[in-house]
Structure 1
Amino acid sequence: MALTTRRSRLSTALRYALLVAVALVFVFPIVFMVMSSLKPDLQLLRDTTSFNAFLPVGDISLDNYFAAFRRAPVALFVFNSILVTSITVAVSLFLCSMAAFSFVFLNWKGRDVVLAAVIATLIVPFETIAIPLLLVVNNLPWIGPNGLTTGWLNTYHVQIVPWIADALTIFLFVQYFKDLPKDLVEAARIDGATWFQVYARVIVPISGPVIATAAILKFLAMYNQYLWPLMVTQSEAFRPVMVGLQYFFQLNVAWGEVMAYLSLITLPVLVFYLALQRAFIASIASTGIKG
Structure 2
Amino acid sequence: MNNIWNRLGFLNAREFCSYLLRSAVILLLALCTLLPLAMMVLTSLKTGSEVSGMGFRLLPASPRFQNYVEVLTGSNWPLYILNSVIVTVLTTVISLVFNLLAGYAFARLRFPLRKPLFYSVLLGLMVPMQVNLVPVFILIKSVPLIGGNNLLGQGGTGAINTLLGIMLPSLAGAFGIFLARQFYLGFPRALDEAAKMDGAGAWRIFASIYLPLSKPLLASLGVIKITTVWNDYLWPLVITYSEGVRTVQLALGLYKDAMVRWELLMAAATIVVLPLAVVFLCAQRFFVEGIVTSGIKE
Amino acid in the other structure paired with 1:273: F
**217 and 281 in structure 1: CA distance in 2 versus 1, 3 angstrom threshold:** closer
**275 and 142 in structure 1: CA distance in 2 versus 1, 3 angstrom threshold:** farther
The alpha carbon displacement at 1:25 in A equals 2.6
Matches within 5 A, 1:179-258: 179-258=186-265
- 1:206 is paired with a residue of what secondary structure? coil
The alpha carbon displacement at 1:251 in A equals 4.6
- 1:58 is paired with a residue of what secondary structure? coil
- Equivalent pair of 1:76/1:237 in contact (CA under 8 Å): yes
Looking at structure 2, the residues matched to 4 and 275 of structure 1 have their Cα atoms a distance apart, in angstroms, of 36
Alignment size in residue pairs: 278
Looking at structure 2, the residues matched to 250 and 72 of structure 1 have their Cα atoms a distance apart, in angstroms, of 15
Greater Cα shift, 239-248 or 152-161: 152-161
- Equivalent pair of 1:65/1:261 in contact (CA under 8 Å): yes
Kindly indicate whether residue 39 of structure 2 is the aligned counterpart of residue 36 of structure 1: no
Amino acid in the other structure paired with 2:187: L
Describe the superposition over 1:89-109 as per-residue Cα deviations: whole angstroms up to 9, x where unpaired: 111111111001111111111
The alpha carbon displacement at 1:16 in A equals 5.4
The alpha carbon displacement at 1:115 in A equals 0.4
Counterpart of 1:6 (choices 5, 8, 12) is 8
- 2:216 is paired with a residue of what secondary structure? helix
**168 and 283 in structure 1: CA distance in 2 versus 1, 3 angstrom threshold:** closer
Gaps of 5+ in 1: 285-291
Q: Equivalent residue for 2:30?
A: 23
Q: Equivalent residue for 1:287?
A: none
- Equivalent pair of 1:71/1:248 in contact (CA under 8 Å): no
**282 and 128 in structure 1: CA distance in 2 versus 1, 3 angstrom threshold:** closer
- 1:3 is paired with a residue of what secondary structure? helix
Matches within 5 A, 1:1-291: 1-6=3-8, 8=10, 10=16, 14=20, 19-45=26-52, 52-53=57-58, 55=59, 57-142=60-145, 151-280=158-287
**61 and 186 in structure 1: CA distance in 2 versus 1, 3 angstrom threshold:** same
The alpha carbon displacement at 1:127 in A equals 1.4
The alpha carbon displacement at 1:164 in A equals 0.9
Looking at structure 2, the residues matched to 135 and 281 of structure 1 have their Cα atoms a distance apart, in angstroms, of 38
**142 and 85 in structure 1: CA distance in 2 versus 1, 3 angstrom threshold:** farther
Describe the superposition over 1:137-191 as per-residue Cα deviations: whole angstroms up to 9, x where unpaired: 11322469xx997611222111112211110000111111111111111111111
Amino acid in the other structure paired with 1:208: K
Q: TM-score, normalised by structure 2?
A: 0.84
The percent identity for this pair of structures is 30
Looking at structure 2, the residues matched to 66 and 23 of structure 1 have their Cα atoms a distance apart, in angstroms, of 31
- Equivalent pair of 2:44/2:67 in contact (CA under 8 Å): yes
The alpha carbon displacement at 1:7 in A equals 5.3
Describe the superposition over 1:123-142 as per-residue Cα deviations: whole angstroms up to 9, x where unpaired: 11111211121122113224
Looking at structure 2, the residues matched to 110 and 182 of structure 1 have their Cα atoms a distance apart, in angstroms, of 20
**25 and 152 in structure 1: CA distance in 2 versus 1, 3 angstrom threshold:** same
Looking at structure 1, the residues matched to 209 and 66 of structure 2 have their Cα atoms a distance apart, in angstroms, of 53
Looking at structure 2, the residues matched to 74 and 105 of structure 1 have their Cα atoms a distance apart, in angstroms, of 45
Looking at structure 2, the residues matched to 38 and 172 of structure 1 have their Cα atoms a distance apart, in angstroms, of 40
Q: TM-score, normalised by structure 1?
A: 0.86
- Equivalent pair of 1:74/1:261 in contact (CA under 8 Å): no
Looking at structure 2, the residues matched to 154 and 238 of structure 1 have their Cα atoms a distance apart, in angstroms, of 7
- Equivalent pair of 2:220/2:286 in contact (CA under 8 Å): no
Looking at structure 1, the residues matched to 162 and 290 of structure 2 have their Cα atoms a distance apart, in angstroms, of 36
**77 and 46 in structure 1: CA distance in 2 versus 1, 3 angstrom threshold:** same
- Equivalent pair of 1:154/1:235 in contact (CA under 8 Å): yes
Looking at structure 1, the residues matched to 199 and 53 of structure 2 have their Cα atoms a distance apart, in angstroms, of 71
